[in-house]
């Protein structure tokens, strides 16, 4: 895993506009504060889709948690076709109530970086409600950041990358006019090797590498032509 990089003394970069520079500065801050990187795999994309795998690591490369999760219902075939996780694989995995407290203790009060933070936070919130477990409430919610009552902040790397890459769009895959990119597409644009996409730890590692790229001198849509 990549060691924590130090961008504390790097200046602003003249090749980027103000919004792009703010994203670069934000990525540097995530690294300097050793933010957490989190990814979930689920039974689908619906509102009630359960978590079946979750990984958490630090930007410095320390793996804190990585486990399959046994859901309350069978995994649909269409979900298995995406991530490859089967009912047999989760048969002996812990259920969500067995890991809920540990997950929240690990991330409490920390910046949590997720590629699509609203989705990952939403799945964890769904799991708490499904099993009647306590979890922090939302204090504020924007496309970039979800702030919780316990001091945890969920930061959306997908939204930050969209603001860095700056591909205009009028479609729904946007929060402010910049198109959201798939994690694998973003990584390829930055020259980052794409691993086994749609497995929690692999996606964490790609997100970590992408944030490191965003904090340096990243490629943007404007300078690829």
Q: What is the CATH number of domain 18-214?
A: 3.30.420.10
Contacts with 42 (C-beta within 8 Å, 6 or more apart), sequence order:
49, 50, 51, 52, 79, 123
Rounded CA-CA distance 165/168 in Å is 9
pLDDT for 197: 86
Q: What is the pLDDT of residue 225?
A: 45
Side by side, the strands of the sheet bearing 145-148 are: 63-68, 51-58, 36-42, 111-114, 153-156, 145-148, 138-141
**CA–CA separation, 36 vs 30, rounded Å?**
8
For the chain, list residues with pLDDT below 70: 1-13, 223-225
- Whole-model pTM: value is 0.92
């Amino acid at each position: 895993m990549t060691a924590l990089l130090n961008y504390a003394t790097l200046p602003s970069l003249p090749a980027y506009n103000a919004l792009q520079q703010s994203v670069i500065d934000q990525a540097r801050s995530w690294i300097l504060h050793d933010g957490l990187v989190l990814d979930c795999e689920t039974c689908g994309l619906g509102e009630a889709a359960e978590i079946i795998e979750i990984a958490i690591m630090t930007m410095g490369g320390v793996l804190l948690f990585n486990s399959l999760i046994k859901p309350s219902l069978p995994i649909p075939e269409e979900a298995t076709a995406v991530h490859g996780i089967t009912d047999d694989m989760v048969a002996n995995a812990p259920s969500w109530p067995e890991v809920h407290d540990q997950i929240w203790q690990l991330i409490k009060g920390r910046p949590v970086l997720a590629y699509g933070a609203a989705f990952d936070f939403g799945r964890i919130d769904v799991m708490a409600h499904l099993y009647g477990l306590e979890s922090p409430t939302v204090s504020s919610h924007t496309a970039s950041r979800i702030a919780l009552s316990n001091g945890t902040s969920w930061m959306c790397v997908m939204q930050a990358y969209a603001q860095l890459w700056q591909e205009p769009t009028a479609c729904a895959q946007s929060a402010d006019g910049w198109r959201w990119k798939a994690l694998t597409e973003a990584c390829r644009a930055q020259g980052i090797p794409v691993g086994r996409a749609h497995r929690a730890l692999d996606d964490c590692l790609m997100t970590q590498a992408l944030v490191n790229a965003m904090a340096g001198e990243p490629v943007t849509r404007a300078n690829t032509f």
